[in-house]
Structure 1
């Protein structure tokens, strides 16, 4: 058994750091959601800002979009022409996706400066992609209401998770050793 542990030590180390850091981050995030409630930033600070920034982007695309707190659930409603097109709930703020990304990066840590810069850049990219994703999803639902389920359930989750996957691939590929000629 000890021989197997030694043989797979790098894999076990990766899994321990990945799972451990993810559990710590998720626990801290749950504490933030539980104790960080605010009457000014409903339902929570991050979700509120994602909804407001999505509204600003939709407005920049030329649509008259309003965002307002939901009266019956912890969400921000994106409304156009008096019709609620989308609800931005806590799960839409992409924090869980960012925590997953950061946990992977910590488990596959390289040079400190390079890794921390990649984590920062990745989180900023994921945040921006998420705001763009919500804006385009809302516009898509407005323009093509028959495709709302496909847009929300398939295409746009693929965008955010695909971005995480491509970031991970880019990070791993940056560690490839150059092939030496014989």
Structure 2
């Protein structure tokens, strides 16, 4: 096994271990306890209200809520206070190679950036609800949530670049030899021209966007739920009335609720928006490298893992629900952002902490 393959496998093993530990600590302990989430939500609400008041708005914060006259206000629920995002950020920094003291300093700095981002997001939502109410739901559902992924991605790139990873050796960083045509003349590969490379990236990103919104995101993902996930989960239910299955999200999510009402879980079709955004980015910056295709395959694989784990949970294997939660809540986001970071590091030569396996010549 080559050194690069071992480094990738070690990195993936660390990521898995870190997010399993985070799931046990947060989802099974801190979240049910509620005190940490309540404190953080109230603190974010208080700072957001103070910031709005400081810039001249008549705003007030009460508990988890921030409001202004004439609107219902914004309530910061568990899962929207940035704590899960902090766990996602810390997991990558811990797993990715770097110097101990730099990691110890960078993690609090990143947590502060995520906290400030969430305060800005809450302020923006309150102002949108007050002065542009028609845009509140789209921004709350997509735009102002995506900002978390952008910030975490930026922090990961900074860590991958300056975390203290060993730089590439002269042999590995030397430019690849130019290709020659059959007549012996030297020729330049397309990515060597930045303009052509970006044009190719824009074309590929446009193609991906078109395929997603015309075929994959509308028809194929709904078919995955209707013809694969729902029949499998319905068959796995121990009794016809043990679980209630309901299709939501325009046919792309199947929600399950136990007959006693004490457990609610859901399964989402693979390669949704959490795939599309990093895939478009990878297509733009690396159009000649199949990073976006690896990303798509990984999302499909994680969806199958999540479905299989949920099926085991319905069969009575308690660990199945835990694996499903880790895969769907953390590994999908970690894999998406991690591929974008590693692609960026490789394309722009920002670091060599984790090197994808190279094909032998």
Instruction: Give the TM-score range, shorter chain.
Output: 0.7 to 0.9
Which position in structure 1 is the counterpart of 2:159? 171
Q: What is the aligned counterpart of 1:116 among 104, 128, 145?
A: 104
CA drift of 1:82 comes to 4.8
| In 1: Cα distance, 2:89 partner to 2:149 partner | 10
- The answer (yes or no) to whether the contact 1:44–1:90 under 8 Å persists in 2 is yes
- The answer (yes or no) to whether the contact 2:48–2:123 under 8 Å persists in 1 is yes
Which runs of at least 4 in structure 1 moved beyond 6 Å after TM superposition?
Answer: 178-182
Which position in structure 2 is the counterpart of 1:73? none
Q: Supply the RMSD in Å over aligned alpha carbons.
A: 2.5
**Alignment pair present for 1:60 and 2:43:** no
- Listed as ranges, the matches of 1:1-182 within 5 Å are 3=1, 8-30=5-27, 31-37=29-35, 44-69=38-63, 76-174=64-162, 175=165, 177=168
Once the two structures are superposed, residues 68-100 of structure 1 have per-residue CA deviations (whole angstroms, 9 ceiling, x without a partner) of 34xxxxxx2222115312111011111111100
- The answer (yes or no) to whether the contact 2:67–2:126 under 8 Å persists in 1 is no
Where in structure 2 are there 5+ consecutive unaligned residues? 176-361
| In 2: Cα distance, 1:113 partner to 1:18 partner | 20
Question: TM-score, normalised on structure 1?
Answer: 0.81
| In 1: Cα distance, 2:174 partner to 2:77 partner | 54
| In 2: Cα distance, 1:27 partner to 1:83 partner | 38
- The answer (yes or no) to whether the contact 1:57–1:132 under 8 Å persists in 2 is no
| In 1: Cα distance, 2:55 partner to 2:26 partner | 32
- The answer (yes or no) to whether the contact 1:26–1:96 under 8 Å persists in 2 is no
Where in structure 1 are there 5+ consecutive unaligned residues? 70-75
| In 2: Cα distance, 1:166 partner to 1:64 partner | 34
Once the two structures are superposed, residues 107-141 of structure 1 have per-residue CA deviations (whole angstroms, 9 ceiling, x without a partner) of 10311111111111111111111111111221122
SS of equivalent to 2:98: coil
Greater Rg by CA: 2
- The answer (yes or no) to whether the contact 2:11–2:95 under 8 Å persists in 1 is yes
Moved more, 129-138 or 22-31: 22-31
SS of equivalent to 2:147: helix
SS of equivalent to 1:93: coil
| In 2: Cα distance, 1:68 partner to 1:104 partner | 34
SS of equivalent to 2:76: strand
| In 2: Cα distance, 1:36 partner to 1:91 partner | 11
